[in-house]
């Protein structure tokens, strides 16, 4: 019961919108300033591209965090949890590695 309650709370505080068009199982994500998005990768080799705004990104197992601005991208090698926060309203999604 506690897990279901926490999952519901997380959905309530995780304001983001997705747009149509999936690539590699992930969608385009739009985050308002300060909003957070997370995803657990089962494998590496994914490149996320910031198409608009400014993002802060951390990836489980990588000791450094990354700030990505519009037009920039970051390659995520290996499985693990990815957490992205919009430092300014942002739109991002997967791109070709």
Task: Indicate the number of domains in the chain.
Answer: 1
What's the pLDDT at 54?
98
What's the pLDDT at 37?
95
- The pTM of this model reads 0.73
Q: Which tokens is 88 given? A: 């300014």
Residue 85 lies in a domain: yes
Q: What's the CATH code of the domain at 29? A: 2.60.120.10
Residue 9 lies in a domain: no
Which residues of the chain are under the pLDDT cut of 50?
1-3, 5-6, 8-13, 15-16, 18-24
Residue 2 lies in a domain: no
Residue 10 lies in a domain: no
Residue 1 lies in a domain: no
What's the pLDDT at 25?
55
Maximum separation of any 2 CA atoms in the chain, in Å: 42
Residue 67 lies in a domain: yes
Integer Cα distance of 45 and 47 in angstroms? 7
| Domain region containing 51 | 16-95
């Amino acid at each position: 019961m506690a897990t279901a309650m926490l999952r519901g709370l997380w959905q309530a505080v995780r304001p983001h919108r997705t747009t149509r068009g999936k690539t590699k199982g992930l969608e385009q994500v739009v985050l308002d300033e300060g909003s957070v998005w997370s995803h657990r990768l089962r494998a590496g080799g994914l490149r996320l591209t910031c198409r608009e705004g400014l993002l802060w990104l951390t990836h489980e197992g990588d000791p450094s965090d990354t700030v990505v601005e519009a037009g920039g991208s970051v390659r995520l090698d290996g499985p693990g949890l990815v957490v992205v926060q919009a430092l300014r309203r942002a739109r991002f999604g997967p791109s070709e590695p």
